[in-house]
Each structure stands twice: as C-alpha cells, then as structure tokens.
Amino acid sequence: MFPAYFMLISVCSAISVAAFAYLNPWKTASTIERYQLGFLLAALGFDLSNLLVFTPMTIEMMMKRHKIEKDLGIGGEVGRSRNAELAKTNPALAAMNKKFGMIHGLSSLANIMAFGSLAMHSWYLASKLEL
C-alpha cells in the first residue's frame, strides 16, 4: 500500500510544483511566492525520498524479516506477536528489528516534513481566499 501512496503523493507534488512555477515565474515572483515554491519543492523532495529510498529499503527489510520469522516459526500469529520476545535471544532478529525501526522512523519523519511543507503552502493558499 505504501509504494502506491508515495507514488501518488509524489505525482501530486510534482504537478503542484509545475503548476505553481508556471503561474509564478521566478523572475517575476514575489518573495512570498518564492518561499511557496520552496515549500512545494521541499515536499516533493521528501515525497521522492520516501518513494525512491525508504520504501525500497523497507520492503527489503520486510522480506528479510519475514524469512527470519519463518525460520523461527513465528510471524503468522493473530494478535500479539512473539517477535519482540524472540528478539531478546536472537541477535539477527534484534538487529533486523532495530534497522527496520530506524528506516521506518526516517520514512515517518520525511512524511511529516512533507506534510508540514504542504501545510505552509495551504496557509498561503487560504490567505488568498476572499470570503
């Protein structure tokens, strides 16, 4: 599900950058509009890092982790997993869990940063509304 999600938001971010840059050429753009283009470019960068860097790393880690869990006879449980329990005695599983947690954390951070950049742009767009 996440590869499709990151692909969709990357395409939407790219369209937003292209549309905003077309409507507000750099040479004639105000300082605020240049900041907005920066926010949109930052969101696109964070989205692409999730799509092209973190998602492949996460999928690779997930496959390796599933293999280790299968070898240990765990991973098919419904409800509470025995993964954390067995990681205390299996250094390979513990290392895999730690690396997966780090990659997942970086992916979440990139997602939050993209959201923050788009929130700033949304604020700018909202300021343009005349009610």
Per-residue model confidence as pLDDT tens for the chain (131 residues): 889 999 999 999 999 999 999 999 999 999 999 999 999 999 999 999 999 999 999 999 888 888 888 888 777 666 567 777 787 888 888 888 899 899 999 999 999 999 999 999 999 999 999 98
Per the document, the length of the chain is: 131
Residue 95 CA to residue 85 CA, distance in Å, equals 14
Q: What is the pLDDT of residues 74-86, one digit of tens each?
A: 776 665 677 777 8
Q: Which pLDDT does position 117 carry in this prediction?
A: 98
pLDDT of residue 80: 62
Q: Which two tokens stand for residue 100?
A: 């997966």
Contact (Cβ atoms closer than 8 angstroms) between residue 10 and residue 55? no
SS3 77: coil
Measured CA to CA in angstroms, residue 128 lies from 3, 38, 106, 121, 123 at distances of: 34, 18, 34, 11, 9
CA–CA–CA angle 127, 125, 8 (5° rounding): 160
Q: pLDDT value at position 62?
A: 87
Task: Note the pTM of the prediction, 2 decimals.
Answer: 0.85
What does the pLDDT read at residue 110?
A: 97
Write b or e for each residue in 84-99: b if 16 or more Cβ atoms lie within 10 A of its Cβ, otherwise e.
Answer: eebbeebeebeebbee
What does the pLDDT read at residue 47? Answer: 97
**Domain regions of the chain by residue span:** 3-127
- Residue found under tokens 């419904």: 78
